[in-house]
């Protein structure tokens, strides 16, 4: 007998690039539909992450300053209960600093 319950899982990231990588993992590895995955600031701050990454990391000899850095990014989605452990692992592999949801 299968468990049809779902749970909301959240991964918190310091960099937008890592959050976007986690979305790719969720879609490609776990078959989650892209419209069912949400990316948003982890706090009330509008942010692109708490640290530069990718193209933001180096720009004319230093980090770019035109993006709002100052808060973490949260990726969340609802998943089947039997997917929790595998999805938690994927979020951590993508660079999540915190993962919640059981």
Of residues 17 and 59, more confidently modeled: 17
Over range 52-70, report the average pLDDT.
56
For residue 22, CA distances in Å to 48, 58, 61 come to 15, 22, 29
* 2-46 tens-digit pLDDT: 456 899 999 999 888 899 999 999 999 999 999 999 998 887 765
- State the pLDDT confidence band at 54, using cuts at 50, 70 and 90: low
Residue 84's closest CA among 10, 22, 12?
10
pLDDT (0 to 100) of residue 2: 46
User: What residues does 6 pair with on adjacent strands?
Assistant: 80
């Amino acid at each position: 007998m299968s468990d049809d319950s779902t749970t909301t899982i959240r991964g918190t990231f310091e960099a937008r690039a890592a959050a976007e990588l986690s979305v790719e993992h969720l879609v490609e590895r776990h078959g989650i539909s892209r419209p069912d995955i949400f990316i948003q600031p982890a706090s009330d701050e509008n942010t692109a992450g708490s640290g530069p990454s990718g193209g933001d990391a180096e720009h004319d000899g230093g980090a770019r300053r035109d993006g709002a850095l100052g808060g973490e990014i949260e990726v969340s989605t609802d998943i089947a209960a039997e997917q929790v452990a595998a999805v938690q692992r994927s979020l951590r592999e993508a660079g999540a600093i915190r993962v919640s949801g059981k």
